[in-house]
Amino acid sequence: MTAFATPDELATRMKRVFTGEEQDWLLALLDDAAAFLRGVMKAAVYPVTTSTFTAWPSGGRVDLPQPFVVSVDAVTRDEDPIDYKRREDSVYVGSDDECDVTFTYGLAEAPADLVGLNCAVVSSQIGLVEADLGLQIGGLSSVALDDFKVAFADGGALTGLALPDPQLRYLQNTYGSTGWVVGSAP
């Protein structure tokens, strides 16, 4: 997977410099957070991807299971091309028989809001790791050692890979999809 944000964008938002040795760690955290965001959205908004999926038309209609459709590249039945018409995010074929649809979807550049959310989720994880608390501490309300104390008003429920409900709804409403495509075109 490709993260929405880069380590440099994360460093800018956190107002800090990461060492070269931390780059692999940052990339892993950014990829994990982006995968979490894609799961919430049920969509692979970025980058541009080509995938093939098997569809069972209803009334000859196949709804494409990803937003931001760039093109429909092929519609086949038993590996033979069939005629189709595309209207927005749907394909119309002449029957309800199973078919395979290859299409390209996604954005060439990550939207700024997803870059920011990707960084915010990772920032939360970095703070936990640097406080030697791991990546997720749900249920823990505070940790204290000498003069150092970290307290969570929500019992740590929104630490690690987590977002508040309003942000979750925003992602689902703005970028959400009704389905997933798994795999890429051969």
Q: List, for residues 59-98, the tens digit of each pLDDT value.
A: 999 999 999 999 999 999 999 999 999 998 999 999 999 9
Strand order in the sheet with 61-63: 61-63, 90-93, 84-87
Instruction: Give me the residue label for tokens 């309300």.
Output: 141
Q: Rounded to 5 degrees, what angle do the CA atoms 139, 144, 146 make?
A: 170
pTM above the 0.85 mark? no
Q: Say what the pLDDT of residue 186 is.
A: 41
**Residue 128 clears pLDDT 50, i.e. is over it:** yes
Distance between CA atoms of residues 130 and 148, nearest Å: 12
Q: 1 burial class (0-12, 13-18, 19+ CB within 10 angstroms)?
A: exposed
**Residue 135 clears pLDDT 50, i.e. is over it:** yes
Q: Say what the pLDDT of residue 176 is.
A: 82
The kind and range of the H/E element at 33 are: helix 23-41
Buried b (16+ CB within 10 A) or exposed e, 39-69: ebbbbbbbeebbbbbebebeeeebebbbbbb
DSSP 8-state code for residue 100: E
Q: Say what the pLDDT of residue 50 is.
A: 96
Q: 24 burial class (0-12, 13-18, 19+ CB within 10 angstroms)?
A: exposed
Looking at every residue in the chain, the average pLDDT score rounds to 84
Q: List, for residues 138-179, the tens digit of each pLDDT value.
A: 555 555 556 665 555 554 545 556 777 888 888 988 988 655
